[in-house]
């Protein structure tokens, strides 16, 4: 069909099982299809399903997506990406026994990490990770009756929101911005420092 081929799974969760699928696909591609793909100017690559979702939403199509592990988690990734940025989504998982897990969307920052390893500046959005931590800290504070911990978690979340509403944000949000003040694209460290400043100003 003359289309690029993507393969995605979630080998961050089923590390050995899903990673074996990745290896099998790569072995078959290298042995049987790599040369033909090259001649046709086509690309095959593997990526985490979270990253594939972010690419899919922003793409114009024209590829074949071999998709493993397409579940509710992926659907929520797609919705959050379509409405703005995957890096703004935190999942809360609750077991029948009443155990809680707070999880940031993950898998989309791999390319940023490789840039950082090279010493390059990144503009990685940490909001989902922060809210995963604040959700867990708030729940811990509620369970252990530590109001100061609950207050800290709520204050950090509010500082994140005020920072973005004040026009200071990471690169993934700049193109979506429609606020009254101009958007400032900050790198990862500067954005965290801006949140810190907001917290200190509210103290």
**Distance, C-alpha 114 to centroid of its chain:** 15
Instruction: Say whether both 59 and 96 belong to one domain.
Output: no
Instruction: Say whether both 137 and 97 belong to one domain.
Output: yes
* pLDDT tens across the length of the chain (203 residues): 999 999 998 877 778 888 899 999 999 999 999 999 999 999 999 988 878 887 888 788 899 998 886 666 677 777 777 777 878 888 888 999 989 999 887 655 667 788 888 998 888 899 999 999 999 999 999 999 999 999 999 999 999 999 999 999 999 899 888 889 999 999 999 999 999 999 999 98
**Burial annotation 145-171 (CB, 10 A radius, 16+ → b, else e):** eeeebbebbeebbebbebbbeeebbbb
Residue 120 lies in a domain: yes
Q: Determine the 3-state secondary structure of 19 from DSSP.
A: helix
> Residue 146: its pLDDT value, please?
98
Instruction: Say whether both 61 and 130 belong to one domain.
Output: no
User: Of 19, 36, 71, which residue constitutes the final position of a domain?
Assistant: 71
> Residue 71: its pLDDT value, please?
64
Which backbone phi and psi does 103 adopt, to 5 degrees? -135, 130
**Residue showing tokens 């050995």:** 16
Strand pairing report for 44-48 and 4-9: parallel
188 token code pair: 């990862």
> Residue 108: its pLDDT value, please?
56
> Residue 106: its pLDDT value, please?
60
pTM higher than 0.85: no
Q: Determine the 3-state secondary structure of 120 from DSSP.
A: coil
Instruction: Say whether both 67 and 88 belong to one domain.
Output: no
Instruction: Say whether both 133 and 187 belong to one domain.
Output: yes
Residue 167 lies in a domain: yes
User: Of 24, 47, 71, which residue constitutes the final position of a domain?
Assistant: 71
Instruction: Say whether both 163 and 91 belong to one domain.
Output: yes
Determine the structural domain holding residue 25 and report its residue range: 4-71
Instruction: Say whether both 92 and 22 belong to one domain.
Output: no
> Using CB atoms within 10 A of its CB, is residue 126 exposed (0-12), middle (13-18) or buried (19+)?
middle
């Amino acid at each position: 069909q003359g289309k690029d081929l993507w393969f995605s799974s979630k080998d961050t969760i089923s590390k050995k099982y899903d990673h074996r699928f990745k290896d099998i696909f790569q072995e078959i591609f290298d042995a049987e299809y790599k040369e033909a793909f090259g001649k046709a100017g086509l690309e095959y690559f593997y990526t985490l399903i979270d990253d594939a979702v972010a690419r899919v939403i922003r793409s114009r199509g024209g590829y074949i997506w071999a998709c493993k592990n397409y579940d509710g988690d992926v659907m929520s990734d797609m919705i959050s990406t379509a409405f703005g940025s995957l890096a703004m989504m935190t999942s809360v998982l609750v077991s029948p026994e009443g155990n809680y897990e707070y999880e940031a969307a993950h898998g989309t920052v791999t390319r940023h990490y490789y840039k950082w390893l090279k010493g390059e500046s990144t503009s990685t959005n940490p909001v989902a990770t922060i809210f995963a931590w604040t959700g867990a800290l708030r729940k811990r504070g509620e369970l252990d009756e530590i109001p100061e911990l609950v207050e800290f978690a709520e204050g950090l979340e509010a500082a994140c929101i005020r920072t973005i509403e004040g026009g200071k944000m990471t690169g993934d949000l700049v193109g979506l911005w429609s606020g009254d003040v101009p958007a400032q694209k900050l790198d990862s460290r500067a954005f965290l420092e801006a949140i810190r400043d907001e917290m200190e100003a509210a103290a």
